[in-house]
Amino acid sequence: MIRLSRLADYAVLLMSRMATAPDGVHNAVDLAQGTGVPTPTVSKLLATLTRANLLTSVRGAKGGYTLAQPARAITVAKIIAAIDGPIAITSCLEHPGSCGVETLCSSRNGWATINRAISSALEGVTLADLNAPMQFPPLSRPAAVSQTTENVA
């Protein structure tokens, strides 16, 4: 199973929450209460996201954190990379030369293609996209049900 780390998932959740009030200053306690993520974890993630230049720290009595860029400029890929490092589906893609069978591997090109597709998909989704109202296609009306009469003997 390919799975996002829990911390990266929490980071996306926190930043999505912040993007709902992009001009606001958000603190760890309020974000923890609003998301259910434990306060120490929120504090750790906010510091990491600040070091990655995705958040800006605001000092003072009403201090906290703000988005460093507009929500439409912050991709899910940037958030994940800030927490988990480069997006790589296999270790040989993250650290070329680290695998003893890399030169013999017939699937490496396929994994590279898959990795590019995943990276592209994550780069194509922004915080603004995550918070956009869901668009549902119009409901189609069912075809008229024909009335049949069955003769029961």
Contact call for residues 148 and 101 (beta carbons, < 8 A): no
Contact call for residues 62 and 103 (beta carbons, < 8 A): no
Where in the sequence is the domain holding 73, given as residue range(s)?
6-131
Band of residue 137 on the pLDDT scale cut at 50, 70, 90: confident
State the Cα–Cα distance between residues 127 and 75, nearest whole angstrom.
Answer: 6
User: Does residue 99 sit within a domain?
Assistant: yes
User: Does residue 142 sit within a domain?
Assistant: no
Structure tokens given for 68: 């460093």
Per the prediction, the chain carries an average pLDDT of: 87
pTM over 0.75: yes
pLDDT value at 94 more than 90: no
Number of domains in the chain: 1
Here the CATH number for the domain that contains residue 45 is: 1.10.10.10
